[in-house]
A and B are shown apart, each in its own frame.
Chain A
Amino acid sequence: MEMLSGGDMLVRSLQDQGVEYVFGYPGGSALHIYDAIFRNKAVKHILVRHEQAATHAADGYARVTGRAGVVLVTSGPGATNAITGIATAYMDSIPMVVISGQVPSDKIGEDAFQETDMVGVSRPIVKHSFLVKNAADIPDIVKKAFYIAETGRPGPVVIDIPKDVTSPAETFPYEYPKKVKIRSYFPAEKGHSGQIKKAVQLLLEARRPVIYSGGGVVLGEASKQLTELAHKLNYPVTNTLMGLGGFPGTDKQCLGMLGMHGTFEANTAMHHADVILAVGARFDDRVTNTPSKFCPGAKIIHIDIDPASISKTIPADIPIVGSVQSVLNEMLELLAQTKEAPDEKALADWWQQIEDWRNRHGLYTKNRFEQSGQIKPQEVIQALHEVTGGDAIITSDVGQHQMFTAQYYHFNRPRQWVNSGGLGTMGFGLPAAMGAQFAERDQQVVCVTGEGSIQMCIQELSTCTQYHLPIKIICLNNQALGMVRQWQDLHYDGRYSESLYEESLPDFKKLMEAYGHVGITVTERSELKEKLEECFAMKDRVVFMDIYVDQSEHVYPMQVAPNGAMRDMWLSKTERT
């Protein structure tokens, strides 16, 4: 059997696991591993400029491919810098394996240089973690880490490795395990057939149904099944922020996003629904508004792979624990066999009602934002959709631009939309776009951001230079922390506490040039389309579009809170439902 050191075993295990890229940053405790990386030709290491970006890049890669993203950092600050990215992945159930160097075993607990209890610090934000005690355990632990990260409800797994364990001084027989068994871990697969039957029955009896489709549909590769089910029944579908693309955004049955900034038609339909089919969604507080007022007349079918997500905030009438793909397949089979069909008249009336809502205040029947002299952020996303043919992979940061993108870039396929939904991490967009570009070298990758968010990981422009990643950055520059400012307008009488930059923003065009990229400034509506086209014509360059937009614009609709129901929304600064 081949004899390898701990460091070499680790990297070989990654290779044998099929890992393409490792996003990382070297440092003292990880140097044996980095030496092994130097020797290995199969696993490509991507040197980022900050460990947070390594996790976001791995996360972006994972969201686009469905496979675990891999991160390698050193101990202490390397490990703690990775924490924000790990928490981001945890909240959105993204598979990720984070390998952190640790001080040598005999120094642990002695407050050694660059020592942090990584297993302890990361504990609440990982699916599982390992502290490696013996080098011989490395292949088995790596195999388990990927298995845990990628199966069931996915999530990040940390492997913390003390430096001595990776030392080249000792070698061990190496074999990568073919199979893995963990006696306490059996992710749900098939749903309960009896429950599925009941669910189908209830669905067929529905008179005002809504399908509420979440990130689990994307993660669980069930977009095809969900779309088929929705088409077969001709039921309306609303996507969550994480679920966008799980059901095609341009489909006539799509009501758009629901929740805090959901469309009028989606939120209103949810409120009046008699049956809600929730698929891979978790009734997040940004979706439900006030739980006690949530969809008063609805019976709820809830399919989720994670039993703890079911009846957590909203009680389910028919809970189904299982992989959404498997459960939907079973539902489709039952529907194929049955002679029953939904009440045609009731469904026609329901669609008529929905059409009525769409015409009244729908986001897509006409522009619901006021025109003004300045460019509106919504117009930028509409133009972006047009110029990219709606086909680009879009990442975003967090804030108003994220919501505008979710509302106006009609995502038609899963894994096309990459954003930090659960944790809401500013600084996510650019490094996530890097990971997405590594995953899909031939796809156009766009990062929609704001002048606030982009500055939280702007150092990664240098990584883009090193690896020739031709990402297009669309910056909706309103010279303020837009979402903070919006809340200050609505709840704090317009007292803009620390949400304005006071003329301190950098000249982004010059900054881009300093990194070897292209910067384009847009201030006039008349030049918006043309400049965007110019931007996307530069196929092999990073282009940063600094687009000045109306600072006073708010994101609407916006649910009324606290104490509002789904249907209670502000539709503009003056209009309320």
Chain B
Amino acid sequence: MSEKQSKRIISLLMENAPGALSRVVGLFSQRGYNIETLNVAPTDDASLSRLTLTTIGSEHNIEQITKNLNKLIDVVKLVDLTEGSHIERELMLVKVKATGALREEVKRCVDIFRGQIVDVTSTVYTIQIVGASDKLDAFVQAVSDAQILEVVRSGVSGIARGEKVLSL
């Protein structure tokens, strides 16, 4: 398919039950779709989990993905957040080697990105950054002079702007 590929954020409510997650994830491998990021946790309703994933595909792929996800009995409701205006956030923890002159440099960078240093040793900073995925990518780029020891990202979480809600 030569159709244009785009990144989508699909968010869904599913039964908070064993096996539900494997059905969602299994669908992607079974049908040859990609999952770029995945984020899942219970909601205020203990019987439901909110799962948000990002995937890259053509219009046709995305349509098939959402149709097939909707067919899963454990999937209660689904929205493609990218179809409307939305807020996208991801949390990243980065452990950076920070000694000598780099110590100040890294600190300045963290401030610019409005991150926080959440743990310090004499040689290492652990930094927390929250934002859209591209902001997180930009930060990793910006501190690339320093030695990055470890990167942990939560995967994208998202919510629609305004009155629109995804709930039962």
Query: Could you list which residues of chain A lie within 8 angstroms of chain B, going by C-beta atoms?
Result: 119-120, 123-124, 127-129, 131, 148, 182-185, 306-308, 311-312
> With A and B bound together, what is the CA distance between A123 and B25 in angstroms?
11
Please give the distance in Å from B114's CB to the nearest CB on chain A. Answer: 39
Partner of B63, one of A182, A183, A311: A311
Please give the distance in Å from B37's CB to the nearest CB on chain A. Answer: 22
Cβ contact within 8 Å between B22 and A148:
no
Partner of A124, one of B19, B26, B74: B26
Cβ contact within 8 Å between A131 and B64:
no
CB-defined A-B contacts under 8 Å, sample of 9 = A123-B19, A123-B26, A183-B168, A184-B14, A184-B73, A306-B71, A307-B70, A308-B71, A311-B60
Contacts of B23 in A (CB 8 A): 123
Closest B residue to A183 using CB positions: B76
Residue B135, interface by CB 8 Å: no
Cβ contact within 8 Å between B15 and A184:
yes
Contacts of A148 in B (CB 8 A): 73
With A184-B73, A184-B76 given, is the CB distance from A308 to B68 under 8 Å? yes
The interface centre, meaning the residue of B14, B23, B73, B75 with most chain A CB atoms within 10 A of its CB, is B73
Please give the distance in Å from A322's CB to the nearest CB on chain B. Answer: 15
Contacts of A120 in B (CB 8 A): 22
Number of A-B contacts (CB under 8 A): 36
Residue B86, interface by CB 8 Å: no
Q: Tell me which residues from 6 to 64 in chain B have a Cβ below 8 Å from any Cβ of chain A.
A: 14-15, 18-19, 22-23, 26, 30, 60, 63-64
With A129-B19, A131-B18 given, is the CB distance from A185 to B73 under 8 Å? yes
Please give the distance in Å from B69's CB to the nearest CB on chain A. Answer: 10
Please give the distance in Å from B14's CB to the nearest CB on chain A. Answer: 8
With A129-B19, A131-B19, A182-B73 given, is the CB distance from A307 to B26 under 8 Å? no
With A307-B67, A308-B64, A312-B64 given, is the CB distance from A124 to B73 under 8 Å? no
Contacts of A185 in B (CB 8 A): 73
> With A and B bound together, what is the CA distance between A135 and B10 in angstroms?
36
Contacts of B64 in A (CB 8 A): 308, 312
The interface centre, meaning the residue of A131, A182, A307, A308 with most chain B CB atoms within 10 A of its CB, is A308
Closest B residue to A308 using CB positions: B67
| Chain B 55-96: CB-based contact to A (< 8 A → 1; otherwise 0) | 000001001100110110111110000000000000000000
> With A and B bound together, what is the CA distance between A184 and B16 in angstroms?
13
> With A and B bound together, what is the CA distance between A123 and B30 in angstroms?
10
Please give the distance in Å from B44's CB to the nearest CB on chain A. Answer: 17
The interface centre, meaning the residue of A148, A183, A184, A307 with most chain B CB atoms within 10 A of its CB, is A184
Contacts of B71 in A (CB 8 A): 306-308
> With A and B bound together, what is the CA distance between A148 and B71 in angstroms?
11
Cβ contact within 8 Å between A184 and B30:
no
Please give the distance in Å from B12's CB to the nearest CB on chain A. Answer: 10
The interface centre, meaning the residue of A120, A131, A148, A307 with most chain B CB atoms within 10 A of its CB, is A307
Closest B residue to A129 using CB positions: B19
Please give the distance in Å from B52's CB to the nearest CB on chain A. Answer: 18
| Chain B 125-166: CB-based contact to A (< 8 A → 1; otherwise 0) | 000000000000000000000000000000000000000000
Contacts of A119 in B (CB 8 A): 19
Please give the distance in Å from B161's CB to the nearest CB on chain A. Answer: 26
Closest A residue to B30 using CB positions: A124
Please give the distance in Å from A409's CB to the nearest CB on chain B. Answer: 34
Cβ contact within 8 Å between B74 and A184:
yes
Q: A184-B75, A307-B67 are in contact. List 10 more A-B contacts (CB 8 A).
A: A119-B19, A120-B22, A124-B26, A128-B73, A148-B73, A183-B76, A184-B15, A308-B67, A311-B63, A312-B64
> With A and B bound together, what is the CA distance between A184 and B75 in angstroms?
6
Contacts of A123 in B (CB 8 A): 19, 22-23, 26
Please give the distance in Å from B2's CB to the nearest CB on chain A. Answer: 11
Closest A residue to B65 using CB positions: A308
> With A and B bound together, what is the CA distance between A184 and B72 in angstroms?
8
Question: Closest 10 interchain pairs by CB?
Answer: A308-B67, A184-B76, A128-B73, A124-B30, A307-B67, A308-B68, A123-B26, A185-B73, A308-B71, A119-B19
